[in-house]
Amino acid sequence: MSSPVLVWFRSDLRIHDNTALATAAREGPVIGVFLRCRRHWQGHGLGANKLAFWSRGVTALQASLEGLNIPLLHRDLDDFSEAPGALLAIAHELGAGSLHFNHEYPLDEVNRDRAVASAFATAGLSARGHHDGVAFAPGELLTGKGDFYAVFTPFSKAWHRQLSADRLALRDTPAAQSLMSIPSDPLPEGPPLQAPPIDESFWPAGEAPAADRLARFLRFRGRHYKRQRDFPAIRGTSELSPYLALGMISHRQCLQAVLAENDGSLAEGDAGLTAWVSELVWREFYQHVAFGFPRVCRHRAFQVATERLPWRNDDAGFAAWCEGRTGYPIVDAAMRQLVATGWMHNRLRMVTAMFLTKHLLIDWRRGEAFFLRHLVDGEFAANNGGWQWAASTGTDAAPYFRIFNPTTQSQRFDPEGTFLAEWLPELADLPPKARHAPPRDLLGGVDYPPPIVDHKAARARALDAFKSLTTD
Ligand SMILES: Cc1cc2nc3c(=O)[nH]c(=O)nc-3n(C[C@H](O)[C@H](O)[C@H](O)COP(=O)(O)OP(=O)(O)OC[C@H]3O[C@@H](n4cnc5c(N)ncnc54)[C@H](O)[C@@H]3O)c2cc1C
């Protein structure tokens, strides 16, 4: 019998369409490994919601692997730096000749994987990374000058232009292998951090719930996506982000499903479906940015000049934003949705991020960290990209003078105040149109704060701060 092959699972918790697993299974009998690096994850700012979802995803993965007679081993590590030693020890103990894994692109993960590859090479073993979570490996799509793209639209055009069918071909699911004498390790006990504060039933973990979400989205909402995606009171988006972030579903599975629904096209045809494809390309774009501009992984601004912005140290303002008591109902409702569910609608991520960075002129890094601590879909590249976009410090940066007015955003995207009433029940008795900016005389005894900043004055302050960058 050939020697066993290790597959190191990380944010690719699935047995279907998994490049590392499919490749390893062609080589020999597979043994899966999962490393829990709790201290490192905490150091990266991941919170209990995401870590608990991750943990439940690993449980689901273990059950699926056992259906294929593939055991899953667990090791608890403090830190990424212990990964090479832990994996080599397993390889030596089991006589495994090689290790496969799917690449992750933020800097620490890249360095961790390089250290593993080098330790394996020194030991005379093979460790092979696969580009699995993206259609193009970072570096494959470059501008005419040979640089990484710093703007989405040309990246997206190049992505569509160079896409070929083989890039989206689904990888084989391994057949059940002969039973091995090595059993799976018992699942680690308890949540990886503290118990998550959210209702976990909304986020069932694993490939089956993810596939079910995708199918339901495409069947009932995909074609309306372009029209409905911006309205937080409507469940118009896929709510697949936590599943994509941890690889319980792949971008290929999503795109193949669109191809099947849209006469074989990703760029033309139904406007709702193609708009949704564009969001998946955004996801890939930010992964390329994290890899191609690693300074963003070091808490640096993408637009280096914006590092001189005079951010305000306003702890009271930050606390009001976190707790949903800024006096701007759309901001407050969104922040309460985030804290209660671990998820926030994309339109509101933009509104709240812009409010923090422009109206309160608070450093985007504080908001980025707060989101990561609460989001069940918290993912470095997309979160950093979104925050730097909103703060006008990033790629495609919103021009600094484009500052959302939270009240008009609310009137436009929640016209009946339905979302506001759901998350701010204290405003539910007001006439719908009054909920966007409740007049004090209508509030009576209702405990809802007045706005903590005046929109016009805050806008002028933000403009001055950005203008100071060019006049210094
Ligand atoms: C400030 C800010 C922070 C964000 N933080 C994260 C994060 O930590 N994790 C995360 O997955 N997304 C993040 N996003 C992007 C986006 O808001 C979420 O992906 C989306 O709301 C998830 O809902 P959905 O699955 O229903 O998305 P859909 O609208 O159904 O989109 C499908 C998928 O495309 C991807 N996607 C959609 N929009 C974006 C985008 N703007 N950038 C990158 N990928 C995108 C997601 O994987 C998403 O699941 C952030 C956006 C902003 C403005």
pLDDT 10s digits, 63-92 = 999 999 999 999 999 889 999 999 999 999
Q: Is 387 a catalytic residue?
A: yes
For the domain spanning 5-132, the CATH number is 3.40.50.620
Mean pLDDT of 352-374: 98
Q: Is 279 a catalytic residue?
A: yes
The CA-based dihedral angle spanning residues 74, 79, 80, 84, taken in that order and rounded to the nearest 10 degrees: -70
- Residue 470: pLDDT band with limits 50, 70, 90: confident
Name the phi and psi angles at 206, rounded to 5.
Answer: 120, 170
Residue nearest to atom 43 of ligand 1 (CA): 283
Q: In what order do the strands lie in the sheet with 5-9?
A: 72-77, 30-37, 5-9, 98-102, 126-130
Mean pLDDT of 410-426: 98
Report residue 322 as tokens.
């976190």
Phi/psi region, residue 206 (left: phi>0; alpha: psi -120 to 50; beta: rest), is left
Per-residue model confidence (pLDDT) at position 372: 97
Per-residue model confidence (pLDDT) at position 254: 98
Q: Is 307 a catalytic residue?
A: no
For residue 197, the surrounding DSSP H or E stretch is: none
Q: Alpha carbon of 371 to those of 46, 258, 268, 382: distances in Å?
A: 9, 30, 34, 11
Q: Is 203 a catalytic residue?
A: no
So what CATH class is 304-467?
mainly alpha
Mean pLDDT of 3-32: 98
Is there an atom of ligand 1 within 6 Å of 379 CB? yes
Per-residue model confidence (pLDDT) at position 143: 97
Is there an atom of ligand 1 within 6 Å of 221 CB? no
Q: How many A from CA of 152 to the centre of ligand 1? A: 15
37 - beta bridge partners?
Answer: 77
Per-residue model confidence (pLDDT) at position 237: 98
Rounded to 5°, angle at Cα 97 from 94 and 98: 110
Per-residue model confidence (pLDDT) at position 401: 86
Q: How many A from CA of 98 to the centre of ligand 1? A: 35
- Residue 14: pLDDT band with limits 50, 70, 90: very high
Is there an atom of ligand 1 within 6 Å of 258 CB? no
Is there an atom of ligand 1 within 6 Å of 373 CB? no
Pocket test for ligand 1, best of 51, 104, 224, 241 (most atoms within 8 A of CB): 241
Question: In whole angstroms, what separates CA 414 from the centre of its chain?
Answer: 25
**Closest-lying ligand 1 atom to the alpha carbon of residue 242:** 11
Per-residue model confidence (pLDDT) at position 471: 65
Mean pLDDT of 424-447: 95
Residue nearest to atom 49 of ligand 1 (CA): 241
Asked if 341 contacts 335 with a C-beta cutoff of 8 angstroms, the reply is no
Taking residue 291's Cβ as centre, other Cβ atoms within 10 Å add up to 23
Per-residue model confidence (pLDDT) at position 200: 83
Mean pLDDT of 300-323: 97
Per-residue model confidence (pLDDT) at position 397: 63
Q: Alpha carbon of 39 to those of 79, 245, 446: distances in Å?
A: 6, 20, 43
Please count the residues of the chain: 472
Residue 398 reports pLDDT greater than 70: no
The pLDDT tens digits of the residues spanning 150-163 come to 999 999 999 999 99
Q: pTM value?
A: 0.97
Q: How many A from CA of 382 to the centre of ligand 1? A: 7
Pocket test for ligand 1, best of 216, 279, 392, 396 (most atoms within 8 A of CB): 279
| Annotated domain spans of the chain | 5-132, 133-170+206-292, 304-467
Per-residue model confidence (pLDDT) at position 406: 98
Is there an atom of ligand 1 within 6 Å of 240 CB? yes
The pLDDT tens digits of the residues spanning 198-256 come to 888 899 999 999 999 999 999 999 999 999 999 999 999 999 999 999 999 999 999 99
For the domain spanning 133-170+206-292, the CATH number is 1.25.40.80
Is there an atom of ligand 1 within 6 Å of 19 CB? no
Q: Please report how many Cα atoms fall inside a 13 Å half-sphere around the Cα of residue 316, on the Cβ side.
A: 2
Is there an atom of ligand 1 within 6 Å of 246 CB? no
Please tell me the distance from the alpha carbon of residue 74 to that of residue 88, in angstroms, as a whole number.
14
Q: How many A from CA of 190 to the centre of ligand 1? A: 29
**Active-site option among 27, 41, 239, 346:** 346
Is there an atom of ligand 1 within 6 Å of 274 CB? no
Per-residue model confidence (pLDDT) at position 102: 98
What is the average pLDDT score of the chain? 96
Residue 190 reports pLDDT greater than 80: no
DSSP for residue 266: S
**Closest-lying ligand 1 atom to the alpha carbon of residue 285:** 43
Per-residue model confidence (pLDDT) at position 192: 67
Mean pLDDT of 277-306: 97
Per-residue model confidence (pLDDT) at position 283: 98
The percentage of the chain sitting over the pLDDT mark of 90, rounded to a whole number, equals 91
The CA-based dihedral angle spanning residues 206, 211, 214, 218, taken in that order and rounded to the nearest 10 degrees: -170
